[in-house]
A and B are shown apart, each in its own frame.
Chain A
Amino acid sequence: MNYFPDEVIEHIFDFIASHKDRNSISLVSKSWHKIERCSRKKVFIGNCYAINPERLIERFPSLRSLTLKGKPHFADFNLVPHEWGGFVHPWIDALAKARVGLEELRLKRMVVSDESLELLSRSFASFKSLVLVSCEGFTTDGLASIAANCRHLRELDLQENEIEDHRGQWLNCFPETSTALTSLNFSCLKGETNLAALERLVARSPNLESLKVNRAVPLDALTRLMSCAPQLVDLGVGSYENEPDQESFVKLMDAIKKCTELRSLSGFSEVAPLCLTAFYPICENLTSLNLSYAAEIQGNHLVRFIQFCKRLQRLWILDSIGDKGLEVVASTCKELQELRVFPSDLHDEEDNDTAVTEIGLVAISAGCPKLHSILYFCKQMTNAALITVAKNCPNFIRFRLCILEPNKPDHTTSQSLDEGFGAIVQACKGLRRLSVSGLLTDKVFLYIGMYAEQLEMLSIAFAGDTDKGMLYVLNGCKKMRKLEIRDSPFGNAALLADVDKYRTMRSLWMSSCEVTLGGCKRLARNAPWLNVEIINENENNDLMERNEEDEREKVDRLYLYRTVVGARKDAPPCVTIL
């Protein structure tokens, strides 16, 4: 029973921002469902094929902000063919036709074309914010349309996209009247940048807080940019492989000193160490630092820099920092919440003593009490270290460990790492995301199924012995949403044991496992509400003697996801939807 008028309830709902909570509200009663859906401004769609744009618009007519995700996560690692899907065009088209007042669009792993961007730019008069992460299919011409036509554009954030750079003048396309920019990130563009246009744009954008330039913006240009935007909070710098001369260096440092609001620093895809030192004056203000592309800076320079960054909450770094460097981080960065350590050298250098090991991980866990997210690439690990880490940091929400060599055991005991990961899941009761690696048997999955009650996303590679492993996870992890498995011996028995489980999950990915075509077909028959996709990419199709009807044939890549709109119509030839 509602004792309040709808407007009041709607007003109360306005305070509820999280998608999960709003979804829960809409289940309370028919009336609440209606109020909720009519007032909903932001919608998050984790799998663009789970629903279609028409139904989205029907349910949420007041939509202002849409987030869409396309390709599965393993597409990041080239496991999904480029033409697989995830096209945004039908969405933009439908939203345009329905005259939705779209203001924000956030896309991840989707295929975006210049036509789509053009349509987007012309269809939504109040459009304010475009964020593209790991997308592809467009060029700087598409960016030019956005710049030219979106009069109220505040945010253009391009993260790690594959953008064909026509070396055009897209920056020039921002009209002189455009002064509303708060965030501009074009760090992933490969081509040259029109510096004059960029400087004019920055100069007339007093609200600009976040600026991330690409490699082609030289040091002197950066100095000028910072001079006319001392209000910057978030800065991504370009590449400076040559040491600056004295004068340039002084100018740079002066400009940097004025940026007292600067909290976040990134970029540095090549940077001479001296350039890094120019940022010393603002180090102690930094809360976020991404030096993970600075492959040429040696560990000692990194360490010297980080020593000043006492307020750091987020650090992305290369393993060239070494265990010693991580020990410095542990003693300096007491506010650290998120750490990512990426590999700097994919050769297997014999004398690479500077890479990180379990020692660095333990040091961090001991020194940083607020740490809750970690992504750690390393060459070796031990159970003892993981057990210690678990004891030191029971607050992990995300724990992703990638030991570079598949199946590598504990290097001191030659045991599997089951116990170590077991300790992590047992201690970290709030763990939502986990990636495991190294030598692992079914046992680790037993532990995960038993203890990881909040786990939503699990990534498995080269692990496990039998179907039991996967079954432990499917049976135990009640909150599992995304499960992705590669090169592990799980087969039909595990896949088919509990078909209804997939109703509660967003998706399952299995590649190079033991599931067969027959198993997948059976699953598809028993679960018509699932799209069961088999991906089979073959360069030598005509020469392969693949017997399509052979049900015992193993499926190379399987991707299944729940959907309310049935099989998609845009699948390429290499994808079969059962």
Chain B
Amino acid sequence: MSGFRDVCSSSSGSVNVMIGVSPAEERDDNPAAALSSEDSSSPEETVRGAELDLALGLSIGLNSRRNHHHSKVRSFSSSLASSSSSLTRESGTKRSADSSAAASKGPVAIGWPPLRTYRINSLVNNQAKSLATEDDIQKDTTKNGVKKDDVGFIKSSMLVKVTMDGVIIGRKIDLNALDSYEALAKTLEQMFFHTPSSVTTRCKGSELLDGSSEHIITYQDKDGDWMLVGDVPWQMFLGSVKRLRIMRRAGETGGGK
């Protein structure tokens, strides 16, 4: 049966590439395909959340046997935390740029899925809005229309950058879509801490605020000083905040911007 080997050995002119050959045949002829089919038929795929990790761990693990320098890749492909399938690379000591991130064991967003920041922000805005202001919207809008003075008007957004130690890519958050520190903490929790893997530090939004978590939220104000979030009334905070940073409490390795 024509197969991978045939394809390799014939010249391009007369080859009949085996498109659409049944899986059984393919598996026999094609070691690569056999490997990939083995990869995915893991019996441990029970819990949906863990499924991604395990399946990928297996498939990449097998790959990495053949390429022993190739880093393992684990995918946290769900949450808004990375707004993308974020990947952690556990690299050897020779890798440079990613080592710090890997060592910190935080989620690392590396531009996947391939969507422009502009577009991701528009989704983030929508998510943040629906998270924080669902109650408000229900109060403000009726089924048939809106308050007279509000026809078509929309609050302009107040986007501030949020960085987290150990995460290379910063995110943006619309503070005008939130109404309190609790909402902020919850949103940040969703953005940075929600992953299916339990390797990342589990963290509740409230913990971020009250100091019981390993991370704290800080912000840079108009004067350039870094302050702890939560000390001043929310509206005052909105007036002076320029950017946010989620810092790790202990053993923090400097280098923030």
Contact = CB atoms under 8 A, between A and B. Distances in A.
Do these two chains really belong together in a complex?
A: yes
Contact of B67 (A342, A350, A461, A514): A514
Nearest to B174: A190
Interface in A375-418: 377, 383-384, 387, 402, 404-407, 409, 413-416, 418
A442 B33 CA distance: 10
Interface string A527-554: 0000000001111111111100010111
B169 A295 contact: no
Contacts of B96: 536, 538, 544, 546, 553-554, 556
Interface in A340-355: 342-348, 350
Contact of B126 (A296, A435, A461, A487): A296
Contact of A346 (B56, B63, B80): B80
B19 A422 contact: yes
Contacts of A190: 156-157, 159
A124 interface: no
Given A406-B56, A415-B33, A426-B19, A347 B94 contact: no
Given A293-B122, A404-B85, A423-B20, A343 B26 contact: no
Q: Closest 8 interchain pairs by CB?
A: A219-B152, A348-B78, A77-B111, A218-B152, A441-B32, A540-B255, A414-B40, A556-B97
B154 A426 contact: no
Contact of A342 (B119, B152, B153, B157): B119
A541 B99 CA distance: 11
Given A78-B117, A350-B48, A419-B26, A465 B77 contact: no
Contact of A77 (B19, B114, B154): B114
A413 B142 CA distance: 49
A409 B40 contact: yes
B239 interface: no
Interface string B33-77: 101110111000000100010001001100100110111010101
Interface in A215-253: 215-216, 218-222, 238-246, 248
B67 A465 contact: yes
Nearest to A214: B156
B73 A487 contact: yes
Interface stretch (A52-60, A443-451, A495-503, A564-572): A443-451
A512 interface: yes
Contacts of B1: none
Contact of B118 (A74, A188, A343, A542): A188
Contact of A443 (B32, B60, B256): B32
B198 interface: no
Contacts of B7: 446
A38 B82 CA distance: 51
A342 B36 contact: no
Given A348-B78, A466-B67, A218 B169 contact: no
B228 interface: no
Contacts of B98: 512, 556
Interface in B126-170: 126-127, 141, 144-146, 148, 150-154, 156-157, 159, 168-169
A78 to B, nearest CB: 5
Contacts of A221: 152
Given A348-B79, A415-B23, A246 B145 contact: yes
Given A536-B97, A538-B100, A377 B113 contact: yes
A553 B94 contact: yes
B36 A439 contact: yes
Given A218-B151, A419-B26, A74 B111 contact: yes
A171 B128 CA distance: 30
A347 B67 CA distance: 31
Given A76-B114, A439-B36, A426 B17 contact: yes
A334 to B, nearest CB: 28
Contacts of B222: none
Interface string A321-352: 00000000000000000000011111110100
Contact of A78 (B8, B97, B111, B122): B111
B112 interface: yes
Nearest to B70: A489
A243 B144 contact: yes
B67 A539 contact: no
Nearest to A248: B151
A79 interface: yes
B153 A218 contact: yes
Given A413-B23, A419-B19, 20 more contacts: A76-B116, A76-B117, A191-B156, A220-B151, A242-B150, A244-B146, A293-B122, A347-B127, A406-B73, A406-B77, A409-B39, A435-B114, A441-B32, A462-B73, A465-B66, A489-B67, A536-B97, A537-B97, A539-B168, A539-B257
B114 to A, nearest CB: 5
A456 interface: no
A270 interface: yes
Given A409-B36, A514-B69, A419 B21 contact: yes
Name which of B114, B115, B123, B254 has the most chain A CB atoms within 10 A of its CB: B114
Given A487-B73, A514-B69, A347 B59 contact: no
Contacts of B77: 348, 404-406
A240 B141 CA distance: 13
A295 B126 contact: yes
A300 B241 CA distance: 40
A443 B178 CA distance: 50
Contacts of B84: 346
